Amino acid sequence: MNKSAIALFITLVLTIHFANGQANNGIKDRQFWLEHLDKIARPVLTNLAGDALKKNMPVQLSKRIDNPTSRKNAAYLEAFARLLCGMAPWLNLEGGTQKEQALRNEYRQLALKSIANAVNPSSKDYMEWHAGGQPLVDASFMALGLLRCPWLWEHLDTSTKKQVIDAFLLTRKVKPGYSNWLLFSGMIEVFFCKYNYQWDELKVDLILHQFDKWYVGDGLYSDGEFFHWDYYNSYVIHPYLQQIMETFNEKGNTYKAMSDKLKRRSERYAEIQERLINTDGSFPATGRSLIYRGGAFHHLADMAWKKKLPSSLKPSQVRCALTAVIKKTMEQPTTFTNEGWLTIGLYGAQPDIADVYNTTGSLYLCSFILLPLGLPETDAFWSAPDEMWTAQKVWNGFDAPNDHASD
């Protein structure tokens, strides 16, 4: 072997080693993801299941908060609904090691008790469901979580199901902004559709056609009238459009042409998202809501979980890239308080990054990156050997595929 070949081999080994801790086939990555899920979820769900979330969860407000009282009241639903939405695919999964099954069974029971307390008007932790507007956002995240985890819905008692429906109906009092907020209203209706309750089909139809008009090209949608360079195509737009289409497909597809377009657009945006992840797991800190941390890759995680990644992306390279993002955004020492609650920031505690609507509850959108835990450990996402993602290949001198617009 000549010197250049040896140097190339050493570079490859070191790249994998430093990016992933050590070369592995993803099983250790999965264990790391599960430990991370447990760390962020336990304070929220143990307290809410015990009807003590409002008593014990500290609510840090943005320095520039627009309405302190309303935001504080909404923070508890934010924390719970966002966490549930990210955990849902894993809660719906069966099997795994004995340790993982035991952890899942524990969290399933905590989630059922938490839902019951969140929607019971007699509970101390009964949530705010319509005042101020923000509850619409997080009711929709809870609805999405219940769509992602039918097991939870099927195991709720009849009384709690009725209270969930009553809570979701309250959100109809909120008039959504003419932006990604339309999708929040749409998701509530899609939940009703999925579980055979009366729903507003016309509202959802109008929302889908409006977003089709807001498509600006190369896999990206405008968030309302104007395009914004932020992560809202991932936080909300693509995952919500995907779920709406999937539910409609289950009920009998009447949107085939739009569904085909969405598939192409979603695949392209997944490629863009993967290329945004730097060699160390960092990513461009641009746009609002950066304190959602790894939630910026909601779409890429969603596509991996649903096994809808484009052929240009191997599941294992996406796993390695997302693992790097989790480590980069969550392992800075000031990311958690001493009691285990998340702090405001992207890389540790950075309160000045927060927007006017951000509170402690907002931060739990970071759980959305964990969606692939809904895949069994035998899936290629976890079982395939480590694979460098695009930035690693490019910035370590390896050949990499070219990139071009989809439209």
CATH code of the domain containing 176: 1.50.10
Residue 406 maps to a domain: no
Q: Residue 364's pLDDT is what?
A: 98
Based on the structure, what is the number of domains in the chain? Answer: 1
Question: Where does the pLDDT of residue 23 fall: very low under 50, low under 70, confident under 90, or very high at 90 and above?
Answer: low
Question: Where does the pLDDT of residue 25 fall: very low under 50, low under 70, confident under 90, or very high at 90 and above?
Answer: confident
Residue 407 maps to a domain: no
- Cα–Cα dist 36/39, whole Å: 5
Q: Residue 61: beta bridge partners?
A: 359
Q: Lowest-pLDDT range, 18-22, 150-154, 199-203, 399-403?
A: 18-22
Q: Residue 16's pLDDT is what?
A: 47
- Cα–Cα dist 214/190, whole Å: 21
Residue 401 maps to a domain: no
- Cα–Cα dist 217/221, whole Å: 7
Cβ atoms within 10 A of the Cβ of 34, count? 19
For residue range 135-191, list pLDDT tens digits in order.
Answer: 999 999 999 999 999 999 999 999 999 999 999 999 999 999 999 999 999 999 999
Q: Residue 226's pLDDT is what?
A: 94
- Two structure tokens written together for 223: 């968030």
Q: Residue 249's pLDDT is what?
A: 87
Q: Return phi, psi of residue 359, to 5°.
A: -140, 180
Residue 405 maps to a domain: no
- pLDDT > 50? residue 398: yes
Stated pTM of the model: 0.94
Question: Where does the pLDDT of residue 6 fall: very low under 50, low under 70, confident under 90, or very high at 90 and above?
Answer: very low
- pLDDT > 50? residue 330: yes
Q: Residue 220: beta bridge partners?
A: 217
For residue range 68-105, list pLDDT tens digits in order.
Answer: 999 999 999 999 999 999 999 999 999 999 999 999 99
Question: Where does the pLDDT of residue 10 fall: very low under 50, low under 70, confident under 90, or very high at 90 and above?
Answer: very low
Are β-strands 220-221 and 215-217 bridged in parallel, bridged antiparallel, or unpaired? antiparallel
For residue range 115-134, list pLDDT tens digits in order.
Answer: 999 999 999 999 999 998 99
Residue 275 maps to a domain: yes
- Cα–Cα dist 300/61, whole Å: 29
Range of the domain at 269: 3-395
Q: Residue 254's pLDDT is what?
A: 79
Q: Residue 252's pLDDT is what?
A: 79
Q: Mean pLDDT, the chain, as a whole number?
A: 94
Residue pair 289/358 in contact by the 8 Å Cβ criterion: yes
Residue 374 maps to a domain: yes
- pLDDT > 60? residue 12: no
Residue 255 maps to a domain: yes
169 DSSP 8-state letter: H
Average pLDDT over residues 18-43: 84
Q: Residue 3's pLDDT is what?
A: 39
Q: Residue 389's pLDDT is what?
A: 98
Residue 400 maps to a domain: no
Task: Give the residue among 377, 405, 387 at the shortest CA–CA distance from 31.
Answer: 377
- Two structure tokens written together for 170: 């309250």
- Cα–Cα dist 8/398, whole Å: 9
For residue range 46-59, list pLDDT tens digits in order.
Answer: 999 999 999 999 99
Is 365 or 13 the better-scoring residue by pLDDT?
365
Q: What percent of the chain has pLDDT over 90?
A: 90
- Cα–Cα dist 360/362, whole Å: 5
CA angle 141, 146, 148 (to 5 degrees): 90
Question: Where does the pLDDT of residue 321 fall: very low under 50, low under 70, confident under 90, or very high at 90 and above?
Answer: very high
